[in-house]
Structure 1
Amino acid sequence: MIKLMSRPEVAEYIGVQRGTLNRYKLPPADAQIGRVQGWLKETIDEWQQRRPGRGNHPDQANWNLPPELR
């Protein structure tokens, strides 16, 4: 079975409040069912490592693009 995380689950997984997650630009969803988007744990792990913030290198500017477009 493929396990996807919803926005509330992503917030819990990365340790932020649900409202705080709204300020983050999440990577493209791995799937969408109706209006609900879902992310694989691996997608969120990679995003966490690459997203802009203190200590990230400027050459990671395309962090939010799908891998095939980076």
Structure 2
Amino acid sequence: MTVHYLSLNGVANHLGISPHTAKKYADEGRLPLHDAEVGDPPRNIRGWLPETIDTWNASRPGRGGRPKKTSS
């Protein structure tokens, strides 16, 4: 069974935020610890399980718990 991880762009799409904001959150250490990492720094790719991002979003201070953006 293949496990699907979200890239930073995937995290942005999942949360309905811009990729720039997702990268900023990651650079500032505001995203949860990634669930997987592929490659070696500095060009490594981090990945998060959707469940990890959902749990983090539901409990983050401030604007946490916002509903995900839906497609119209």
TM-score, normalised with respect to structure 2: 0.70
How far has the Cα of 1:54 moved from its partner? 4.8
Where in structure 2 are there 5+ consecutive unaligned residues? 66-72
CA distance in 2, matches of 1:13, 1:55: 14
CA distance in 1, matches of 2:64, 2:13: 23
How large is the Cα RMSD of the aligned pairs? Answer: 1.8
Which stretches of structure 1, 4 residues or longer, exceed 4 Å deviation after superposition?
Answer: none
TM-score, normalised with respect to structure 1: 0.71
Aligned residues: 56
**Are 1:17 and 2:22 an aligned pair?**
no
Identical positions, percent: 43
Closer, same or farther: CA 31–15 of 1 in aligned 2, 3 Å: same
Where in structure 1 are there 5+ consecutive unaligned residues? 57-70
Code of the aligned partner of 2:62:
G
CA distance in 1, matches of 2:14, 2:63: 20
Code of the aligned partner of 1:28:
L
